């Protein structure tokens, strides 16, 4: 056994620190990620206020988690493309546009889910 090798659990635990560093980087450096973060807080507060059902919570949490994950994948793609080339390249632009498009599609889906869940609660107030 290599004397420099670390037990497997330390590598596993260290991977969490890398993940948290990635999340912190996204929140610090990406305006859209901060927008999603603050929007999520508002949605969570509204969800508590209306005491939504467990099924509705599942849709809300999957929407929020999926949005964060997709935004970070989009950011990673943008960074890798920027790392590979400083020059304009049609395929680099396509990669960035496709990733941004995926985020946009999921954002629209999340808004539709939010409307479907919260509109009846809001209408009930009036």
Helix axes 31-50, 8-29, angle to 10 degrees: 100
- Encode pLDDT of 6-65 as tens digits: 566 677 888 899 999 999 999 999 999 999 999 999 999 999 999 999 999 999 999 999
Do 56 and 121 form a contact (C-beta atoms < 8 A)? Answer: no
pLDDT at residue 92 is higher than 70: yes
Catalogue the active-site residues.
71
What span, in angstroms and rounded, lies between the C-alpha atoms of 24 and 26? 5
52: left (phi over 0), alpha (psi -120 to 50) or beta: beta
What's the pTM value of the predicted model, to 2 decimals?
0.85
């Amino acid at each position: 056994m290599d004397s420099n090798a670390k037990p497997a659990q330390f590598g596993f635990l260290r991977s969490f620190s890398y993940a948290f560093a990635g999340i912190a980087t996204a929140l610090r450096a990406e305006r859209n990620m901060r927008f999603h973060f603050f929007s999520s807080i508002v949605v969570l507060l509204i969800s508590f206020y209306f005491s939504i059902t467990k099924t509705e919570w599942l849709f809300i949490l999957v929407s929020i988690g999926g949005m964060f994950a997709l935004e970070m994948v989009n950011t990673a793609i943008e960074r890798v493309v920027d790392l590979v080339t400083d020059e304009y390249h049609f395929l680099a632009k396509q990669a960035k546009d496709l990733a941004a498009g995926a985020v946009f599609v999921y954002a629209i889906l999340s808004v539709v889910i939010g409307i479907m869940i919260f509109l009846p609660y809001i209408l009930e107030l009036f």
